[in-house]
Chains A and B, each alone.
Chain A
Amino acid sequence: MNRLLTAPIDAHALLRKKRALRRELSARDGLVDKRVAILGGSTTAELKDMLELFLLDAGIRPVYHESGYQRFAEDVLFPETGLRDFAPELVVIHTSSLNISRWPGFDDSADEVHARVQAEFERFEVLWQRIEADYGCPVIQNNFELPQFRATGNLDAYAPTGRTRFVALLNERFATAARERAHLHLNDIHTLSARFGLDRWYDLPARHAYKYAMSVAAIPHLAHSIASIVRALLGQSRKCLVLDLDNTLWGGVIGDDGLGGIQIGQGNPVAEAYTEFQHYVLLLKQRGVILAVCSKNDEAVAREAFSHPDSVLAVSDFSAFVANWEPKDRNIALIAQRLNIGLDALVFVDDNPAERDIVRAQLPEVCVPELGSDVVRYIDIIEQSGAFESTGISADDTQRSSFYAGNRARAENQSRYAGHDEFLRSLQMRAEVQPVSPLYLDRVTQLINKTNQFNLTTRRCTLAETTAAAADPGQVLLYGRLVDTFGDNGVVSVAGGRCEGGALHIELWLMSCRVLKRGMEAAMLDELVRHARAKGLRALVGRHVSTVKNGMVARLLPDFGFEPLPADDSPGTRWRLDITNEPVPRNTLIEVNQ
């Protein structure tokens, strides 16, 4: 990640270095084009440039369509003016409180105010409906910041006709809509503007001279917020927080100061600040972020610190605990390997600037916020990184740490068995492999978009596409859920494809790394074959599209007996499995659909 694009964001440095940064970032290999429409209720020129930088940094090269000034609605409602031909893959609706056209009048009744909220809401709702119908793509929609003026002072927040209250009502309607509409994602400028400071956010010269809805210095933050949502939509959110210990999780050095000397708990301001930070880290864990320790310490000494009576975090909260005197970049690589996740899923926080620099230099995929060494700023800087942005918290997210803890218990057990198969049998694995039903659409889409290693095609899908595929009788889309003696692993695999010319063409086949080497892929194949045969198909046709991360599935199809097919125009190698006769089941270890 580029340092200038890492939290905390220095908006002025970014604005000043924009062109050089764009030149550098555009020159990198492997950028993926995305067609992004920015529909503006105010000038969008700088937003477009800033968003480009953050997207380039995430490996995405935006190809833009910009609406005319303030023509955000017209572009959607009259797409023949250009949006239809552009066929956006993502729409950003950049509106603000300045675009509210139906503010209440002072003599409005309560009913009239609600009618105005409804009318204002519908003006946007019709756009989301049209975009969903015409393009089926995600929409990122700003909610509304608080109004600049309060003609009635404090009363503005609670008088029926107050503008402050009107914005709150409208934002609540937007929030409800975003919960109900899978393709709608809110960019919370209500919070963003408050954090930036409303007095700085509202910039009358910028508005009157350039028609910007907010100060130019706010725009990099706005773009970063949108880019964080885009990264989450594409499954690029980070999954694991790797923490240093001394002067990061507590004040002082456990090895020198001892259990009685470190700063944690109540009674002095520094200790209280570290306690608050530990509470925040625990909150991240509870919402699904995996925690790991990477510390230069003797392991026994490091572990002892968590026995401090005021420690909020316990050793058991960490899915990996590495404390030794090896270089941190080496230990972080080890943590990624142990947890079976990519380096690009990690965020590393350390109060020591030298350690941060080494990790940045050696492991550029790891997100390393510029944490500083002042504990009172840690939470803010981690939040600003947007690294853990999510488009929804699923039940699997909140259970993730226990999955990984379960993995640890499994690994410890494994050494007690003579062979791997014997170990697997002892797990008494049971799987559910079924066509995707509405209940599973969110998790299946999330898995499709975040799985990089065991992924045959690395094809990404929006929720709308997954929904359509699940409902299409000409397609097969299966999810696999795995339960064993250590717990429910949740939905861990997706496989599916399109029925065409007597064959099932496999477009998706992927599996979460937390169930590697469990035989789940064999169970998925058996069910694909069963569903294909039930539809009267005679073959499975699979494709392996190689990426830098999916080397582990390069031999998946031939190892299952697929025969090579000649290449076609699309990327990847092609393989065919004849299923005219019912093949011998591959899976021998998992009880499926019992």
Chain B
Amino acid sequence: MTTTAFSTADIAARLTDIFRDVLDHASLVLTRETTAADVEDWDSLAQISLLVAIEKEFGVHFTLAETKQLANVGDMLDLVANKLG
């Protein structure tokens, strides 16, 4: 997978798809401010699945320190954008 082909809107759309798949929630809508507390079933096990799926989708790898600092969807989006940039 090339690592430069995604615009921010692309990344957001793909993140939404991943969240909808992993949480089995077809109409889920995310904003930058969405946190685990706002979404049913976004528990710690789902968080692992989300991170594994995001790494796979974008062909990136997160360090331990990076994953610990993710507070909301906006943080995830920025982290992916940084990795790809």
Contacts and interface: CB of A to CB of B under 8 A. Distances in A.
Given A46-B48, A209-B64, A15 B24 contact: no
A216 B52 contact: yes
Interface string B5-49: 000000000000010011110000000000000000100010011
B21 A216 contact: no
B53 interface: yes
Given A17-B21, A20-B24, A217 B64 contact: no
Contact of B21 (A20, A45, A208): A20
A130 interface: no
A19 B64 contact: no
Interface in A36-53: 45-46, 49
Interface in B35-78: 41, 45, 48-49, 52-53, 56, 62-64, 67-68
Contacts of B63: 205
Contact of B45 (A12, A46, A209): A46
A237 to B, nearest CB: 31
Given A12-B52, A12-B53, A205-B64, A19 B22 contact: yes
A209 B44 CA distance: 11
Interface string A1-25: 0000000000010011111100100
Contacts of A206: 48
A210 interface: yes
Given A205-B64, A209-B64, A209-B67, A19 B45 contact: no
Nearest to A206: B48
A214 to B, nearest CB: 13
Interface residues of A toward B: which range?
Answer: 10 to 19
Contacts of A18: 22, 24, 49
Contacts, number: 42
Nearest to B68: A209
B5 to A, nearest CB: 19
Given A205-B63, A209-B64, A16 B53 contact: yes
A12 B23 CA distance: 15
Contact of B24 (A12, A23, A49): A23
Given A210-B48, A216-B52, A16 B18 contact: yes
Contact of A15 (B23, B53, B64, B67): B53
Contacts of A210: 48
Contact of A16 (B45, B49, B67, B68): B49
Contacts of B53: 12, 15-16
B52 A217 contact: yes
A467 B22 CA distance: 45
Contacts of A17: 21
A46 B46 CA distance: 10
Given A205-B64, A209-B64, A16 B22 contact: yes
Contact of B23 (A19, A49, A216): A19
Contacts of A23: 24
Interface string A188-209: 0000000000000000011011
A17 B52 CA distance: 12
B46 to A, nearest CB: 9
Contacts of B48: 46, 206, 210, 216
Nearest to A20: B24
Nearest to A23: B24
A15 B45 contact: no
A206 B55 CA distance: 13
25 contacts: A12-B53, A12-B56, A15-B22, A15-B49, A15-B52, A15-B53, A16-B22, A16-B49, A16-B53, A17-B21, A18-B22, A18-B49, A19-B22, A19-B23, A20-B21, A23-B24, A46-B45, A49-B45, A205-B62, A205-B63, A205-B64, A206-B48, A208-B64, A216-B48, A217-B52
Interface of B: 18, 21-24, 41, 45, 48-49, 52-53, 56, 62-64, 67-68
Top 6 nearest A-B pairs (CB, nearest first) are A19-B24, A16-B21, A12-B56, A20-B24, A16-B53, A216-B52
Given A46-B48, A205-B62, A217-B52, 12 more contacts: A15-B52, A15-B53, A16-B49, A17-B21, A19-B24, A20-B21, A205-B63, A205-B64, A206-B48, A208-B64, A216-B48, A216-B52
